[in-house]
């Protein structure tokens, strides 16, 4: 999956460095899925619509294993390079307006990479909580994902993200426990001895390859079932 990893890294870098006019006119990239949202067909009979909200890790999932989404009425709304404030801005059109039964939120790694500037962990966490609150207010079940491990960022080296990821995951875990929200723990299944992403699951240390996504898939499907049953 080196081609996928290279593509996603290029997209992340483009977004992180703001090398296009889109960031000035549509900072949250709300228009990215506007046509897809308008043309989205109804979920197949007997299946409930599930939206995956995220960044390049979510966006890349549909390319690495397209059948996972096609076979399960899952809707991918990941945008490469995005941070939690951007996701929060587009949460209404890309999640709420689609009327899903549940949303899977995977967010935070690009905030730690400072893609849209330095940000405190508390503010990253606050944006995630705001997305959860919007979903629950609109009767959408929530699955909150752990941030995947990363030892370094190829597009912004030297930030030493590993410990910040551990701290953010601890905040998300505690929030889920206190508020009866389903938490899916990718981190503990994919972390290595450096608190980075295991090499067998990634080519660049941040984005999963097919083997990585295959670890994530049964975990998130079990979490979705639990969320829908609550």
User: pLDDT (tens digit, 9 = 90+) per residue, 146-157?
Assistant: 999 999 999 999
User: pLDDT (tens digit, 9 = 90+) per residue, 54-108?
Assistant: 999 999 999 999 999 999 989 999 999 999 999 999 999 999 999 999 999 999 9
CATH architecture, domain 2-229: 3-Layer(aba) Sandwich (3.40)
Q: What is the predicted pLDDT for the residue at 139?
A: 97
Distance CA 107, CA 122 (A): 14
Give residue limits of the domains in the chain: 2-229
CA angle 182, 188, 191 (to 5 degrees): 140
- How many other C-beta atoms are found inside a 10 Å radius of the C-beta of residue 96? 18
């Amino acid at each position: 999956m080196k081609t996928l990893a290279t593509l996603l890294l290029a997209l992340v870098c483009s977004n992180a460095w703001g090398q296009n006019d889109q960031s000035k006119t549509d900072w949250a990239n709300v228009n990215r899925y506007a046509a897809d949202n308008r043309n989205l067909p109804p979920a197949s009979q007997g299946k409930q619509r599930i939206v995956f909200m995220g960044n390049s890790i979510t966006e890349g999932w549909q390319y690495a294993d397209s059948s996972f989404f096609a076979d399960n009425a899952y809707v991918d709304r990941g945008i490469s390079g995005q941070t939690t404030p951007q996701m929060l801005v587009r949460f209404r059109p890309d999640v709420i307006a689609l009327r899903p039964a549940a949303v899977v939120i995977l967010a935070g790694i690009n905030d730690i990479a400072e893609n849209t500037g330095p940000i405190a962990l508390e503010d990253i966490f606050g944006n995630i909580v705001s997305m959860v609150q919007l979903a629950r207010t609109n009767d959408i079940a929530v699955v909150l994902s752990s941030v995947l491990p990363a030892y370094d960022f190829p597009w912004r080296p030297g930030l030493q993200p590993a410990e910040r990821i551990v701290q953010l995951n601890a905040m998300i875990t505690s929030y889920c426990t206190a508020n009866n929200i389903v938490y899916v723990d990718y981190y503990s299944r994919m972390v290595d001895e450096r608190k980075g992403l295991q090499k067998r699951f990634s080519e660049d240390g941040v984005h999963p390859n097919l083997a990585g996504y295959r670890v994530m898939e049964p975990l998130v499907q079990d979490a979705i079932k639990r969320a829908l049953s609550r």
